[in-house]
A and B are shown apart, each in its own frame.
Chain A
Amino acid sequence: MIIMALTPKDYEQMNKKASPPTKSYLTIPMAFLIGGLICTLGQFLTNLYTMLGLVKEIASASTSITLIFLAALLTGLNVFDNIAKVAGAGTLVPITGFSNAVAAPALEFKSEGLILGVGAKMFTIAGPVIVYGTVASVIYGIILYVFKLY
């Protein structure tokens, strides 16, 4: 029963031994490359929508919507995970990561039903993002209002 005597520190060391070392000289350039390419695609879409006559704000929103759609679709096709394995933060940090964070658990927990499976689990990660993003904006709004900075 050696296992019983494990301290958290021992466990951490064992964990370190068992998990492969992170190759940062590969992961960071890959994140840079793929993330950069996603943003370049975003710039292409924004230019395209602007050319089609959309004003700047709507072209930018349409770009986000397109990238969200593509990321959700690739999540459903089981392609997103394969790209994300190589890209790391390259697919996580752009808006594609937010879309995947909604679509992936929604699909994964389909077996638990449409309400508490799909409907609830899609907010596992997106929920906190919306909660803290919105509250941060409210705090900023209060500061703007109180100090009449608008």
Chain B
Amino acid sequence: MEVFMEYLKAFLVGGLFCAVGQVLIDYTKLTPARILVSYVVAGVLLGALGVYKPLVEFAGAGATVPLTGFGYLLSTGVKKAVAEKGLIGVLTGGLTASSAGITAAILFGLIVALVFKPKDKS
């Protein structure tokens, strides 16, 4: 039952993030690129305000899988780095925390581009 609740919370919160994104696509002129940027920056902001951490504790992957979670990761990274290393942490923290995701996207993106054939534009 506890595991079921965990999945349900991830589903509901994650779904809600996506529904909000869809509302933005349908009712504003925001392009997908702008939505991705907005979500990541919003995640940094919500992380900084201390709002996102409780949400992660509540919804798990429902909060970490959406791109706001990526922004939250940047904010936790910089906080940890500033605490540990001082001023230099301002520059190292964000990308250090998000490096696994960025490197994975670059690596898999490159492999996919090398292995597969672009689709026909017909």
Contact = CB atoms under 8 A, between A and B. Distances in A.
A122 B15 CA distance: 27
A35 B17 contact: yes
B37 A22 contact: no
Contacts of A94: 14, 18, 65-67
Contacts of A36: 10-12, 14-16, 18, 62
Interface string A81-104: 000000111101111011101110
B74 A101 contact: no
Contacts of B25: 27, 88-89, 92
Contact of A72 (B60, B70, B90, B105): B105
Interface of A: 22, 24, 27-40, 42-47, 60-61, 63-65, 67-69, 72-73, 75-78, 87-90, 92-95, 97-99, 101-103, 106-108, 110-111, 118-119, 122, 124-126, 128-130, 132-134, 136-138, 140-145, 150
Contacts of A106: 109-110, 112-113
A84 B48 CA distance: 31
B83 A137 contact: no
Interface residues of B, number: 79
Given A64-B101, A64-B104, A126-B102, 19 more contacts: A28-B19, A31-B19, A32-B19, A35-B17, A38-B14, A42-B64, A43-B10, A94-B18, A94-B66, A98-B67, A99-B109, A126-B105, A132-B41, A133-B44, A136-B41, A138-B90, A141-B78, A141-B81, A144-B90
Nearest to B36: A129
B21 A42 contact: no
Given A28-B26, A95-B70, A144 B79 contact: yes
B55 interface: no
A73 B113 CA distance: 10
A129 B71 CA distance: 10
A80 to B, nearest CB: 10
A126 B103 CA distance: 12
Describe A's contact surface by its main secondary structure: helix
Given A39-B62, A136-B44, A92 B36 contact: yes
Contacts of B24: 89
Nearest to B3: A47
A77 B116 contact: yes
Please indicate which of the listed interface residues A39, A47, A64, A106 has the most CB atoms of chain B within 10 Å of its own CB.
Answer: A39
